[in-house]
Structure 1
Amino acid sequence: MTWILGTFRKDFLWLYFPGLAALVLSFFVIMPSPSTAFWIYTFVALQFFDSGHVYTTLWRTYLNPEERRRRRAYIFAPVFFFLLFWAWAYFQMPGLAACIIYATIFHNVRQFFGIHKWYQRLNGNHVKWADYFLYFNCFMPFVIAHFRTGPVWNYDYSEQDIFRFPNEVIYKTFLIFYFVGITSWLVYEILLFAKRREGNRFLSIAFPTVLYGVCFICGRTAAEIVFPLVIAHGVSYFGLMSLALSKTQKRFSNLQIGTAVVLLTALGFGAIEGVFEEYYLDLSNATLAPLIALYLTPLFCHYYFDAFLWKKTHPESIKIYANVSGH
């Protein structure tokens, strides 16, 4: 069985273990209180992994002359996003926080989908219905969370900034539908397993299924809902970015050097953004519109650039997916 980073051990350590560890820390170890341990956990989750991973994309875009020359988007996208969010914040149009949350969740799920497709290429076998189940297993808990009567994802945002429709009847109805879907997926995988054993691809669905299900359906605080998601996403991105850099740029041919550069970039920019968030970020303050736009532009450029940087149609994909059979 073939693995993205070469071995099951490496894939597990980079793509799966951090999210599972974060679930344990969030639900059973770190309590949401003003303790030193919680402060450190918050910094690692939100600044280092979440905010920091955004800026590691610089090494495949602006800091890569060959890639920089390929697209005018690297010039126009920052201008577009800056003007968009400046106007949004200045005129105090509703839904800015919701836009950030929904774009982040979509981006997060797309990364899991990309990993899932990567394993399919490694296996030389496309499983169409598995794609649908992955999206269902991830997005359905997020939808269900909108109807929970308890606390939901509200870290950094007020309750008024988030679309919520607490309703016990709808919540329970959707919950039943969700468990029927999960059961259908498990039956589907059992039938597939009888024909072809693909533990790597199964793991790429099972992990986000557990992560999203536990966080959005069982989570009671922002730490329990948000932190495992951003840690799983950020650490996975570090591993995949390090692999991509080692395969596409000679200066990072040593994987250890590439990994160190990625981690240091995330740590430096994450710390800077953490200070910015603490002292200058207030989405409800129209006078801070330029700073809000400056804060959101790198984030949405990251979302946009990633949409084509990891596609198999990208010129670098032939190197990144060089060990992929059949495609």
Structure 2
Amino acid sequence: MSRLLAPSQAWLFGRGVDLAVFAGSALASVGLVLAASALGLVGDTPLWAWVLLVVCVDVAHVWSTLFRTYFDGEELRRRPGLYLAAPLVAYLLGVLAYLGSPGTFWRLFAYTALFHFVRQQYGWVALYGRKARVSDTERRLDGAAIYAATLGPVLWWHANLPRDFWWFVENDFVSGLPSWVGTGALVLHGLVLVAWAGFQGTRLVRGEGLQVGKVLLVLATWVVWYGGIVLARSDFAFTVMNVLLHGVPYFALLFRYARGRLAEGGYGGLAPLVRAGLPGFLGVLFVLALGEELLWDWLVWHERSSLFGESALVPPADLLALVVPLLALPQATHYLLDAFIWKPGREPALLKRLGWTRGEGEGSPASTAPISGLAIPGVTD
């Protein structure tokens, strides 16, 4: 069968990296959950696991956006309005929400994060499909499969509140959804995934092969969302399932981008961080993430004195309306900027920096695909 009829593998980063960051992240999550009892990880997430999963993956991946944005002087000069407006808008919205009530702030923040997490998985599968030049039918099925794998468990979660875990804080999601809605959501999500799997099976029957990376991505997404929400019985299980598949591939994306930008002479005085390789890249992110969490603990949570030390700083309630949105600003800005900074159709140099230019045998349609995060439907989707 001709190459035009059979999808190429179209690995995003390369076979080994794709398998490691997508399938590997899911397998690591499952392995940690299965070993939880033996490791003493039943119930709340212990301190060492919190540092490893939340600080070094979840929070650090937020800060990695700096290598795409504020660490790059040329990029700042190219779109100064965006990089000034994004944090200002995010902060003002956060303050207004918190002035309404702390619950309103955390609810808005939780649903924004949820949307971001779902859309990032869609961005990966859309890029896989477009690099392989799949049909419109398969592209729609791929999207439906990702939305089913993520939103099905989320709707079930809303219909089965309270659980032993929350996204950010207790009661951040809206409760009261009838249980039958959750059951129906799981049934529908199963039907969509069976239809998607059936379509992939027909490709094999017709001798057209599978795009292995994409198939493993969809499978990994379902495993961690269904396992981390429906099957999870502890905060640790939800945390490990929630953060690895989201954060680790994003590290790969940003590190690939940073190396490409460095090859162009980017980053100026910060270039040694990238030139030092993965240790330098991750090291600065871990330091920033730990610093952020220290401020959260000293000013707001006061929960991890064994790591951060005792703090006598207790801002008054009215001042927290300014402090909490400020501490949340790196994450909020990350969510907002991801809607704009991964648009290859508007910035051809982006593909070159990522090593996804024409002529690599992976198909030119990648130049119109959103890469990650909050892609805007109808623009480059």
User: What is the TM-score normalised by the length of structure 2?
Assistant: 0.77
1:121 aligns with 2:133: no
Structure 1 pair 242/192, CA: closer, same or farther in 2 (3 Å)? same
Structure 1 pair 181/39, CA: closer, same or farther in 2 (3 Å)? same
3-state secondary structure, aligned to 1:310: coil
User: Equivalents in 2 of 1:243, 1:284: separation in Å?
Assistant: 43
Q: Are the equivalent residues in 2 in contact too, given 1:241–1:262 (CA < 8 A)?
A: no
Q: Are the equivalent residues in 2 in contact too, given 1:150–1:220 (CA < 8 A)?
A: no
Q: Which has the higher helix share?
A: 1
Give the corresponding residue for 2:66. Answer: 58
Pick one of 38, 45, 60 that aligns with 2:53. Answer: 45
Give the corresponding residue for 1:317. Answer: 350
Give the corresponding residue for 1:194. Answer: 205
Pick one of 99, 108, 111 that aligns with 2:117. Answer: 108
Give the corresponding residue for 1:229. Answer: 242
Pick one of 104, 125, 129 that aligns with 1:95. Answer: 104
Give the corresponding residue for 2:379. Answer: none
Residue pairs, 1:234-313, within 5 angstroms: 234-250=247-263, 257-281=276-300, 285-313=317-345
Moved more, 161-170 or 26-35: 26-35
Structure 1 pair 259/277, CA: closer, same or farther in 2 (3 Å)? same
User: Equivalents in 1 of 2:42, 2:330: separation in Å?
Assistant: 29
Q: Which has the higher contact order (CA 8 A, sep 6+)?
A: 1
User: Equivalents in 2 of 1:248, 1:14: separation in Å?
Assistant: 21
Q: Are the equivalent residues in 2 in contact too, given 1:90–1:287 (CA < 8 A)?
A: no
Give the corresponding residue for 1:4. Answer: 12
1:23 aligns with 2:36: no
1:147 aligns with 2:147: no
User: Equivalents in 1 of 2:151, 2:177: separation in Å?
Assistant: 18
Structure 1 pair 33/120, CA: closer, same or farther in 2 (3 Å)? closer
Say which one has the larger Rg.
2
Q: Are the equivalent residues in 2 in contact too, given 1:86–1:289 (CA < 8 A)?
A: yes
Displacement after TM superposition at 1:210 (Å): 1.5
Structure 1 unmatched ranges of 5 or more? none
Structure 2 unmatched ranges of 5 or more? 1-8, 266-270, 302-314, 366-381
3-state secondary structure, aligned to 2:328: helix
User: What is the TM-score normalised by the length of structure 1?
Assistant: 0.88
3-state secondary structure, aligned to 1:148: coil
Q: Are the equivalent residues in 2 in contact too, given 1:4–1:11 (CA < 8 A)?
A: yes
User: Equivalents in 1 of 2:10, 2:182: separation in Å?
Assistant: 40
Give the corresponding residue for 1:135. Answer: 147
Displacement after TM superposition at 1:27 (Å): 4.4
Q: Are the equivalent residues in 2 in contact too, given 1:145–1:152 (CA < 8 A)?
A: no
- Aligned residue identity for 1:263: L
User: Equivalents in 2 of 1:294, 1:149: separation in Å?
Assistant: 29
- How high is the sequence identity, in percent, across the aligned residues? 20
User: Equivalents in 2 of 1:45, 1:199: separation in Å?
Assistant: 27
3-state secondary structure, aligned to 1:69: helix
